[in-house]
Amino acid sequence: MSTIDKPTQKPRHLTQSDSKPAPHPAPRSLADAKPRSTEPKSAGSKFAKPASLPIDADLLSGLKTGIAPRLLAWQLAHGRHDLPWQVPEPYAVWVSEIMLQQTQVKTVLGYYERFMQRFATAQDLAKVSFDEVAPYWAGLGYYARARNLHKAAKLVAEQGFPGTVAGWQELPGIGRSTAGAIHALGQGGYGPIMDGNVKRVLSRWLAFDQDPKKAAAQKVLWQIAEQLTPKDNSGRYAQALMDLGSIICTRSKPRCTLCPLQADCQAYIEDKTDQFPIKSAPTKFKQRYSIALKITAGDQLLWLKAVSPGIWGELWCLPLIDLPLGVPLEPQKSVPIASLDQNELGLDLASDSSEAFESHPLVQQLISLSSDVHKPEQTLNHRLTHIAWQIQPMSFSLAPGQKDAAMRLLRTFFIYEEKGALKFSELMWMSAEQAIDSGLPKPMVSLIEST
């Protein structure tokens, strides 16, 4: 592929005689829908309210010229063509799109193939209970995705596949971008998309100076995406955008010299690819501290199933007791698990929380039923979207004959109604191997393997 030397100045356009299509000034803000002025803004100038001003139709018509042909040609030559879900079949695309939410392709591949071998059609998925689905999702995280997929499959088995983007959006767990991808990639229809890759590509190409995570900015980006998406080859165009964001226009160190949009990419021209997309303020994590109760009788452990909805709804977990926020865990060895970036969370731990553990009424009663109690020299960190969660495992080896008593105790403590709904639904004795086979959240696997 030929490349274009990076200009030494910051051109606003190419001449009409150039072989590349002339670029068009991109909107730097929600209100700036005309060519950008080179005059510096005064210190007191402010942008107009974005929601009241639509994107200029002439600008969008100009932006559309050349982008689809360039992307389609690039995708044909350099894009991904060997992914197992790249088939004109809505169910295959649907499953992949749900799995790929918040999850990288390399992680999804193995899960997707196992899932499709077991549930080859929407009807196959619909006729089983969620207990049969959970083992095939365990470890992917964001378990509400699996629950919604299962619920939606039941509707599809009864009503058939939707035939429009709006119809797909009516199913549980399917938003606007996912619906567009399924309709375009799986059904050959017109379906604009707006996943993380697309936001990054458009934000850089336009030098879009608003946070694409904000609702007002997303509204404008959707307007642009709808105009840019061709009526024909909508699916391959969507794939081209996703491939470009994954292969070329990456979060860091984008390979701009290989990009088909380089000639009129405003972030590249201005040497500011590292500044786009505009980033939100860092997430402030709430802190949560819990005790994980590892109650054993021989080779079996006592497991608790949470009801849906919830973080681990309808999955088996070790019973957890939350500690007050003012009583963090001891600063022992800390092992981060299931973390987005595998970094230490840097929690400010108190010097001693043994009293908080041992004074808890459930812990006291479990101690009285046990022949041995052990608190391992490790705590586990788990990061959710907005929660930094530290979990301290405690092991209780029950004394002979206390298995039923422990079951009654846990049932009294956990199986109760909270605001009219059960918080936990079942208790069961299972070996670690049986529990893993049933589909455990990744933190639970780490807890039983490391303690």
Q: Where in the sequence numbering do the catalytic residues fall? A: 97
In terms of domains, do 92 and 164 share one? yes
In a domain? residue 156: yes
In a domain? residue 45: no
In a domain? residue 387: yes
Res 149 pLDDT > 70: yes
In terms of domains, do 171 and 118 share one? yes
Res 310 pLDDT > 80: no
In terms of domains, do 183 and 236 share one? yes
In terms of domains, do 251 and 325 share one? no
Length in residues, the chain = 451
Amino acid identity of 64? K
User: What is the per-residue pLDDT across 255-299, written as a single tens digit (0 to 9) for each?
Assistant: 999 999 999 999 999 999 999 999 877 767 788 888 899 999 999
In terms of domains, do 265 and 300 share one? no
CATH number of the domain enclosing 267: 1.10.340.30
Task: Count how many domains the chain has.
Answer: 2
- CA trace torsion 390, 393, 394, 396 (10° rounding): 150
The answer to which of 120-129, 250-259, 392-401, 435-444 has the lowest mean pLDDT is 435-444
Which residues does 137 contact at the CB level (< 8 Å), separation at least 6? 111, 115, 143, 145, 146, 439
Q: What is the pLDDT of residue 93?
A: 98
Res 327 pLDDT > 60: no
C-alpha 441/C-alpha 316 separation (Å) is 8
Q: What is the pLDDT of residue 139?
A: 86
Which residues does 95 contact at the CB level (< 8 Å), separation at least 6? 85, 112, 115, 116, 149
Q: Is 418 helix (H, G, I), strand (E, B) or coil?
A: strand
In terms of domains, do 292 and 213 share one? no
In terms of domains, do 307 and 197 share one? no
25 touches 12 (CB < 8 A): yes
CATH number of the domain enclosing 336: 3.90.79.10
In a domain? residue 224: yes
User: What is the per-residue pLDDT across 394-424, written as a single tens digit (0 to 9) for each?
Assistant: 999 999 999 999 999 988 888 665 554 445 6
Out of 249, 275, 301, a domain closes at: 275
Which residues does 73 contact at the CB level (< 8 Å), separation at least 6? 260
> What proportions of the chain, in percent to the nearest 5, are helix, strand and coil?
40, 15, 45
Domain housing 381: 286-450
User: What is the per-residue pLDDT across 348-385, written as a single tens digit (0 to 9) for each?
Assistant: 333 345 565 667 888 889 999 999 988 876 788 887 77
In terms of domains, do 213 and 296 share one? no
In terms of domains, do 68 and 108 share one? yes
C-alpha 209/C-alpha 276 separation (Å) is 8
25 touches 34 (CB < 8 A): yes
In a domain? residue 111: yes
Out of 227, 249, 275, a domain closes at: 275
In a domain? residue 262: yes
In terms of domains, do 115 and 93 share one? yes
Positive/negative CA dihedral, 323, 326, 329, 330: negative
Question: How many other β-carbons are positioned within 10 Å of the β-carbon of residue 6?
Answer: 11
Out of 275, 302, 319, a domain closes at: 275
Residue 374 phi, psi dihedral angles, 5° rounding: -140, 130
In a domain? residue 19: no
In terms of domains, do 331 and 411 share one? yes
Residue 136's nearest CA partner among 156, 116, 151, 153 is 116
C-alpha 428/C-alpha 436 separation (Å) is 13
In terms of domains, do 238 and 326 share one? no
In a domain? residue 16: no
